[in-house]
A and B are shown apart, each in its own frame.
Chain A
Amino acid sequence: MSAISIPVAAAPAIATEHLTRRFGDLTAVQDVNLRVAPGQFFGFLGPNGAGKSTTIKMLTGLLAPSSGRMQILGSDFTENPVEVKRQIGVVPEGMALFGRLTGSEYLNFVGRMYGLDRDTAAKRSAELLEFMQLTDQPKSLVTDYSHGMQKKLALAAAVIHGPKVLFLDEPFEGVDAVASNTLKAMLQSMIARGATIFLTSHVLEIVERLCSHVAIIHRGQLVAQGSLEELRAGVAAQSATALLASGAAPGDQPASGEKLTLEQIFLRIVGGTRRPDQELSWLG
């Protein structure tokens, strides 16, 4: 499948060149060239095992690339890791929480590790805890929080220093609808103030609603990148070409004038169709 790629005009907030990561014989991520413009809400999608988490780990310094380059806000990550890390916020896959601190202690700690002075760290911690509605149990340790509360705390920690670029790995997983709404509002207000957000999620409806731009990775390779409209147009053009070449009837096409959903785009791009002989006939 040929990649659908649309050039981004502005100087990128995140840029990678031939980013590659190998684990022994397995190439988890191969030659990924990402371009994310400042101020974009960018969704990074892919099926399980496609290389999303590996890519986000490399972009945030949790994993070393085997080859290729990464630039965040114009700085090379390998050359200036500390400077780059100062400008980014991350909610990684495991949330990176310290279980035996209270929520307030944890946020204070994170704030100071990002260079905030004691008073600012304390003030922002209190504000964030209140915003995230985590003030009910001030003495509770993080290890005793529910999964959703831990997710909110991890997000609060990721933004305490006011990052210009935010990396979120499955931020809405396990978060209830009320909390999810709060988080979305916060993220959208960050975008409105000029921050860039790079998000991975399996919930395509959320990505479609929040993100202006999307990239899709499949089997370690970037197979699509651009705004939702551009992807729609690209998929439609590819489908039309394929239909013309095969002369087949347009089976799963949306009705005339109807927009392709992100899920439809995603399934077309990663080839999510199943053969009838794959049915598990023994299943009750």
Chain B
Amino acid sequence: MREQFAAIGRVRWQLFVNSLRTVRGRLELVARIFMFLGFGMLGLGGSVGLGLASWYFASHGQPEFLALLFWLIFLFWQFFPVLASAFSENIDSSNLLRFPLTFRSYFLVRLAFGSLEPATAIGILWSLGIVLGITVAAPSLFFVAALSLLAFAILNILLGRMVYVWVERWLAQRRTRELLGVIFFLFIISFQLINPLILHFGKRAGPAMSHFSAQALPLQRFLPPGLAADSIASALHGDFLRSLGAVLLQCFYSAIILGLLKIRLRAQYQGENLSEAVARTAKPAARGAAPTVGWNIPGVPGPISAVVEKEFHYLSRSGPMLFTFIMPVVVLVIFRFGSARTGDPGGILARAADLAFPVGAAYTLLMLTNLVYNTFGGDGVGVQFFFLAPLRFREIVLGKNLAHAIIIAIEILLVWLGTCFLYRPPSAEIVAATLTGVTFGLLVNLAAGNLLSLYTPKKIDYGTFGRQRASGTTAIASLAIQAVAIGLCALALIAARASGRIWVATLLFLFLIVLAAVGYILVLNQVDSIALKRREALITELSRA
């Protein structure tokens, strides 16, 4: 078994070394170094902060507040891998199952290599910070704190893997995958709405909320973070039996999680078949059905219309994308009800309701990042067709850009309607400034996106949420471009608004549109030659299994 572990470790190392042969691989390494530094700072900084907080709570007779720290670690440990799947590596079990591994080896390999992710490292660092903080406050509690946090860490690692393998199973089939995506996005949206709704309805629901809190607080003590805190707090009060009991209950939870993990991995080990291939039906083929005619966009050549239609079919079948599209309106709702002081009619934008439309529009532009910076990512192996088709590549890019521009236009219309409904209709000046600002931002994004899509493509599945590893180079570059474009527009609009001359911002944006349009056309003129030079890399990257 040791040899098998070593072989897997070696092959992962070789894969990493081989990835450095290409410029793209080296750029990815640079991006990962930056991410590593970021995670390192988060881990160490959090560790110091949590250490200080735990020292304070333990030394000032407030051990019950330790639960807050454990809940923070727990939520981060479990949710960060889902939100930042781009930074996690996972091995494909089907590759391992070809080899004569015992179930025990398979189980340990999946557990060990699957746990090598930033959340585990950061979670462990933070836990160590708490152990140190408590040990400094009460040196005699070192053993209890270490034991409790060890149990807590093991539980988190097992829970993370258990959730991952079950989610992996649901993601393996398109229908369950899309259903899971919908549930996840509903969860994210409802999570965002909790605070605004509490703030908005808090006063009216005061007694009910207090009742709920009174019921929920004792319950949390029986959940893993509460148990970890309780074991330390009990030891501080000299109740070592209760402390041990809390640790044992954590171990009991871990055993249950281990059992669930084992059920899933056993099914994988036994070669479950999750094939989605369409079975032939006994019913005869439908004859004489009227053929479906493609779209006709007035003034747009047939092939470009076909590309637009294809993009819309793709996006309309993508749960994650559809939910991304409604987010700008959701953001307006959050701002509307998310006032710091209840009773403000305009919510967070109470004193600047006229900015609701530009804020929503800016969020819409941010949403573009998912679409334009990896425009061929969703096409996968289909990208070959674009090189086989009797078209210039710029026509295909133009079709995709047109589809994305139409989506943005629809989004802006929705945001405008949302603003009128939730706030008040924006003034003509604000509308003009916003529309020109968005046009500038759109052109910048499309120009940069076209280049990055050709230079750093990454295959993605529009039907899957999570497990999508965006190119690190694209992620960093698109973030910088968005920050500059939206930041520039925001500064100009705020300055113009402060001076009472919003039309100045509109004029500036018109000037910027001209510059951006020139840049966009220059890029578009280069697309054919870049695509021809990059075609092998593009096809290879997007045709990966």
Asked if B139 is an interface residue, CB under 8 A from chain A, the answer is: no
- In angstroms, Cα B380 to Cα A83, docked, is 26
Most buried by B among A92, A109, A146: A109
Determine if B381 and A104 form an interchain contact, defined as CB atoms under 8 angstroms apart.
Answer: no
Interfacial chain A residues near B294, Cβ < 8 Å: 108-109, 112, 118, 121-122
Determine if A86 and B390 form an interchain contact, defined as CB atoms under 8 angstroms apart.
Answer: yes
Most buried by B among A64, A108, A147: A108
Tell me how many residues of B have a C-beta within 8 Å of chain A: 49
Interfacial chain A residues near B295, Cβ < 8 Å: 118
Determine if B543 and A101 form an interchain contact, defined as CB atoms under 8 angstroms apart.
Answer: no
Determine if B463 and A85 form an interchain contact, defined as CB atoms under 8 angstroms apart.
Answer: no
Known contacts being A105-B292, A126-B289, A146-B278, is A99 close to B539, with CB within 8 Å? no
Determine if B384 and A96 form an interchain contact, defined as CB atoms under 8 angstroms apart.
Answer: yes
Which of the 9-residue segments A136-144, A193-201, A213-221 touches chain B? Answer: A136-144
Asked if B291 is an interface residue, CB under 8 A from chain A, the answer is: yes
Determine if A141 and B317 form an interchain contact, defined as CB atoms under 8 angstroms apart.
Answer: yes
- In angstroms, Cα B314 to Cα A117, docked, is 22
Q: Which of A89-117 contact B (CB under 8 A)?
A: 90, 92, 94-101, 104-105, 108-110, 112-117
Asked if B276 is an interface residue, CB under 8 A from chain A, the answer is: yes
- In angstroms, Cα B313 to Cα A101, docked, is 7
- In angstroms, Cα B276 to Cα A55, docked, is 34
Query: Closest approach, in angstroms, between the C-beta of B296 and any C-beta of chain A?
Result: 6
Query: Closest approach, in angstroms, between the C-beta of B173 and any C-beta of chain A?
Result: 10
Interfacial chain B residues near A98, Cβ < 8 Å: 310, 314, 379-380, 382, 385
Query: Closest approach, in angstroms, between the C-beta of B100 and any C-beta of chain A?
Result: 15
Asked if B391 is an interface residue, CB under 8 A from chain A, the answer is: yes
Interfacial chain A residues near B384, Cβ < 8 Å: 62, 92, 94, 96
Asked if B494 is an interface residue, CB under 8 A from chain A, the answer is: no
Query: Closest approach, in angstroms, between the C-beta of A129 and any C-beta of chain B?
Result: 8
Determine if B388 and A100 form an interchain contact, defined as CB atoms under 8 angstroms apart.
Answer: no
Determine if A122 and B292 form an interchain contact, defined as CB atoms under 8 angstroms apart.
Answer: yes
Determine if A104 and B292 form an interchain contact, defined as CB atoms under 8 angstroms apart.
Answer: yes
- In angstroms, Cα B302 to Cα A113, docked, is 7
- In angstroms, Cα B275 to Cα A146, docked, is 9
Q: Which of A193-234 contact B (CB under 8 A)?
A: none
Query: Closest approach, in angstroms, between the C-beta of A12 and any C-beta of chain B?
Result: 21
Determine if B535 and A143 form an interchain contact, defined as CB atoms under 8 angstroms apart.
Answer: no
Interfacial chain B residues near A90, Cβ < 8 Å: 388
- In angstroms, Cα B279 to Cα A66, docked, is 45
- In angstroms, Cα B318 to Cα A64, docked, is 34
Interfacial chain B residues near A244, Cβ < 8 Å: none
Determine if A96 and B382 form an interchain contact, defined as CB atoms under 8 angstroms apart.
Answer: yes
Determine if B296 and A118 form an interchain contact, defined as CB atoms under 8 angstroms apart.
Answer: yes
Determine if B310 and A133 form an interchain contact, defined as CB atoms under 8 angstroms apart.
Answer: no
Most buried by B among A64, A96, A118, A141: A96
Determine if B378 and A145 form an interchain contact, defined as CB atoms under 8 angstroms apart.
Answer: no
How big is the A interface, by class?
35 or more
Asked if A40 is an interface residue, CB under 8 A from chain B, the answer is: no
- In angstroms, Cα B534 to Cα A63, docked, is 10
Asked if A188 is an interface residue, CB under 8 A from chain B, the answer is: no
Query: Closest approach, in angstroms, between the C-beta of B196 and any C-beta of chain A?
Result: 35
Asked if A53 is an interface residue, CB under 8 A from chain B, the answer is: no
Q: Which of A48-88 contact B (CB under 8 A)?
A: 60-64, 82-86
Determine if B283 and A136 form an interchain contact, defined as CB atoms under 8 angstroms apart.
Answer: yes
Interfacial chain B residues near A180, Cβ < 8 Å: none
- In angstroms, Cα B305 to Cα A138, docked, is 22
- In angstroms, Cα B290 to Cα A123, docked, is 9
Nearest A residue to B383, CB-CB? A96
Known contacts being A85-B388, A109-B309, A130-B285, is A145 close to B278, with CB within 8 Å? yes
Determine if A149 and B278 form an interchain contact, defined as CB atoms under 8 angstroms apart.
Answer: yes
Asked if A20 is an interface residue, CB under 8 A from chain B, the answer is: no
Contact with B390, one of A82, A101, A109, A133 (Cβ below 8 angstroms): A82
- In angstroms, Cα B380 to Cα A244, docked, is 56
- In angstroms, Cα B305 to Cα A83, docked, is 20
5 residue pairs of the A-B complex, CB under 8 angstroms, read A64-B535, A113-B390, A133-B285, A137-B281, A149-B277
Taking A100-B463, A101-B310, A113-B303 as known contacts, 9 extra A-B pairs with beta carbons closer than 8 A to each other, sorted by chain A number, are A62-B384, A62-B388, A64-B535, A97-B382, A98-B314, A100-B313, A109-B294, A109-B310, A144-B276
A residues neighboring B (CB under 8 Å): 60-64, 82-86, 90, 92, 94-101, 104-105, 108-110, 112-119, 121-123, 125-126, 130, 133, 135-138, 140-141, 143-147, 149
